[in-house]
Structure 1
Amino acid sequence: MEAFYRTHTYLVEHTNAPVRRDLMDEIDWNDRLIGIKGTRGVGKTTFLLQYAKEKFGTDRSCLFINMNNFYFSNYSIVDFANEFQKRGGKVLLIDQVFKSPEWSKELRMCYDRFPNLKIVFTGSSVMRLKEENLELRDIAKSYNLRGFSFREFLNLQTGMKFRAYTLDEILNNHEQIARGVLSKVRPLNYFQDYLHHGFYPFFLEKRNFSENLLKTMNMMIEVDILLLKQIELKYLSKIKKLFYLLAVAGPKAPNVSQLATEIQTSRATVMNYIKYLADARLINMIYTDEEEEFPKKPAKIMMHNSNLMYSIYPVNVEDQDVLDTFFLNTMYKDHKLYKGDKNTTFLVDGKLPFKICGEGYKIKNNPDTYYAMHRSEIGRGNQIPLWLFGFVY
């Protein structure tokens, strides 16, 4: 146990989160069982350590553990939690909880046996906490940690502290908001960098970003999908090939029969793999309206964020696809997006039509449509700078 305390102290003392994530204030920390999900690489470990540093420092009532530790190949979470709370432990932070085969049952046992112990755990976005783990349905509070928004990236790069705005605030007050931002920085000077490498916090590391992201993408498939969905290793190459084919094809409806032929499997299996890739936050499935959902074929498949596009097929990246993907990704947190009609790109929340306009796009202004304008610093009326939608979280 002392070894775990020493590791915890070292990690907390050496944690330096470059941006304080808003999720820190959105979580109700009074709950006894809190799950923080998110795609690999968005900073879940750092988030846990930042919480420990802010609230407890090196106080031994809080302890961070990682399920990668070989200790847990012989001892259960329940065993460890029992020993920890006997020593006065109050808050146990468990990173990568899914590495324990019986993690959901063990968390339930801890919840029932140790009423004075709070557990905060991280897991993959592939985990379906409430749907697949009935033991936790009524007791675990689940939150999602996303990659950096453009606002967070801008704050990090400039030292500013711009706040987030709701979609309604942006639609109704975008000129005033944009002027306030422009009085301090020129957002477009940073926008392309964000599209290329700003979503994942590890762009801050002194390593090649694209290589690091490719490694992360492989881990998403090899660990998050294969391990959690219990898929045999021999099918790994099929899932990777499918992901590549979808990425290179660009945003469009998948030809499921052709994909099934190319990866030599059934149509039903292709659709299951597509769902797993979406759960892993590698792709997004866009439908035409709320009536349609999986297992129906989506109207369009897009990459989850623009950083992925530059890493997986840099020579084929189309500017318009990047802009569409940025808008989808930034709105994805709190809004539902559907495929627009021939004159629009997306229908947001089933009622707000948006056209994402690349540089030089000639607008035939429809007063019922919102136009998200690339390369515009400031907008007017229903024409809004695209970068400003990066402030919705």
Structure 2
Amino acid sequence: MDQIYIEYKETLAALKPRFRRDFIDEIDWEESLLFILGSRGVGKTTLMLQYIKEKFGTSSTALYISMDDLSLSNYTLLDLAKRHAQNGGTHLFVDEIHKYNNWSQELKNIRDKIKELRVVASGSSILDIQKGNADLSRRSVVYTLHGLSFREYLNIELKLNLPIISLTDIVSNHEIIVPQLLEQFKPLQHFATYLKYGYFPFYLEGIKNYHHKLGNVLNVVLEQDMALIEGVDLTKIPKIRKLIYLLSTQVPYQPNITKLAEALETDRITLLNYLNSLQKASVLTLVRLNGKLYTQLTKPDKIFLQNTNLLYLSQSNVNIGTLMETFFANQIG
């Protein structure tokens, strides 16, 4: 355990974030068990480490571990939690929880047997806490972290402190709100860059290789997360890639599921399952009209890529209508 604590302190010391997300303050970190779910690359690890650094400093009462760390292979999650609690630990932060086979049962055991220990677990947005070996839905609180909104992007780039404004306020009070905002910045000056590069915080590492990194993120989601969590056959991944490409190069429309299935050489039910899995993975947004009864096997009324940055993986010039609709669906979704 000593080496685990040493590596944790080194990880914490290396953290030098360039911004702080408001989402940190929205979380009730004192819940017995809470999950932070989200797409790869949205900043779940940074968020947890920032909170640890702010709240605990260098104290060993908190411990951060990542379940994709080979050095933890000789320990069970329950064993790590017990040892941390015996050492005076009060909070355990577990990253990449979906990489650990028996995660749901052991988290249940930790919550039931080590009641004084607070556990925060992060994982893929695909993760369904009701589908593990132990149903944790009544024992935990789930938060979802999204990529950067345009407001957050502007706050980072321009060092502003723009507040959240609801859609209702914008519609009702836009004549007051817009002039106030225009005094601080020119939205269109930064909008195109955000649409292409600004959704994932790793754009701060540089935009030259941004889409290459984004492509790698998408590959990991398809080849690892969907295979591991959703049970998607790896031999079917090329068809799912083709599906994403077809959707990204077409103007959003009411989909013809039969024709789309024919283009992928698959059946209707399989295609609908792919679409729902991709929505869980934060790759797609499936829009359904209010007032209708939907199941997983009901076709959506419209399909968008989850964010505008993904559109640029397959093309350099994106239809402006597609960009605007995708942006709107993402920001209010």
Q: What is the TM-score of this pair, normalised by structure 2?
A: 0.95
The offset of 1:254, in angstroms, is: 2.7
| Count of equivalent residues | 331
Give the corresponding residue for 1:177.
177
Change over 3 Å in CA distance of 1:166–1:130 after alignment to 2: farther
1: CA distance, partners of 2:19 / 2:332? 20
Give the corresponding residue for 1:265.
266
Give the corresponding residue for 2:257.
256
1: CA distance, partners of 2:8 / 2:291? 45
Give the corresponding residue for 1:11.
11
What is the percent sequence identity of the aligned residues?
A: 36
Q: Deviations over 1:17-63 (max 9, x none)?
A: 32221211111122110100111110001001001111011111111
Task: Check whether the contact 2:105–2:132 (CA below 8 A) recurs between aligned residues.
Answer: no
Task: Check whether the contact 1:41–1:216 (CA below 8 A) recurs between aligned residues.
Answer: yes
Which shows bigger deviation, 4-13 or 192-201? 4-13
The offset of 1:134, in angstroms, is: 5.0
Give the corresponding residue for 1:323.
324
The offset of 1:231, in angstroms, is: 2.3
Task: Check whether the contact 1:243–1:277 (CA below 8 A) recurs between aligned residues.
Answer: no
2: CA distance, partners of 1:290 / 1:37? 28
1: CA distance, partners of 2:256 / 2:150? 33
- RMSD over aligned Cα atoms: 1.6
Which shows bigger deviation, 288-297 or 37-46? 288-297
Task: Check whether the contact 2:42–2:147 (CA below 8 A) recurs between aligned residues.
Answer: yes
Give the corresponding residue for 2:162.
162
Query: What letter is aligned with 1:19?
Result: F
The offset of 1:133, in angstroms, is: 6.5
Matches within 5 A, 1:130-279: 130=130, 134-206=134-206, 208-279=209-280
2: CA distance, partners of 1:8 / 1:71? 12
1:128 aligns with 2:141: no
Task: Check whether the contact 1:278–1:284 (CA below 8 A) recurs between aligned residues.
Answer: yes
Q: Which residue of the other structure, out of 310, 333, 347, is the alignment partner of 2:312? A: 310
The offset of 1:265, in angstroms, is: 2.3
1: CA distance, partners of 2:211 / 2:49? 26
The offset of 1:282, in angstroms, is: 0.8
2: CA distance, partners of 1:73 / 1:295? 39
Q: Deviations over 1:112-169 (max 9, x none)?
A: 1101101101011111224666521111100011111111100111111111122222
The offset of 1:74, in angstroms, is: 3.4
Matches within 5 A, 1:65-76: 65-76=65-76
1: CA distance, partners of 2:250 / 2:133? 35
Q: Deviations over 1:311-349 (max 9, x none)?
A: 23334x1011101111110000xxxxxxxxxxxxxxxxx
1: CA distance, partners of 2:121 / 2:46? 13
Task: Check whether the contact 1:214–1:312 (CA below 8 A) recurs between aligned residues.
Answer: no
Determine helix, strand or coil for the equivalent of 2:249: helix
2: CA distance, partners of 1:188 / 1:215? 29
Structure 2: gaps (5+ residues): none
Which shows bigger deviation, 125-134 or 171-180? 125-134
Task: Check whether the contact 1:96–1:123 (CA below 8 A) recurs between aligned residues.
Answer: yes
1: CA distance, partners of 2:182 / 2:174? 12
Structure 1: gaps (5+ residues): 333-393
Structure with the largest fraction of helix: 2
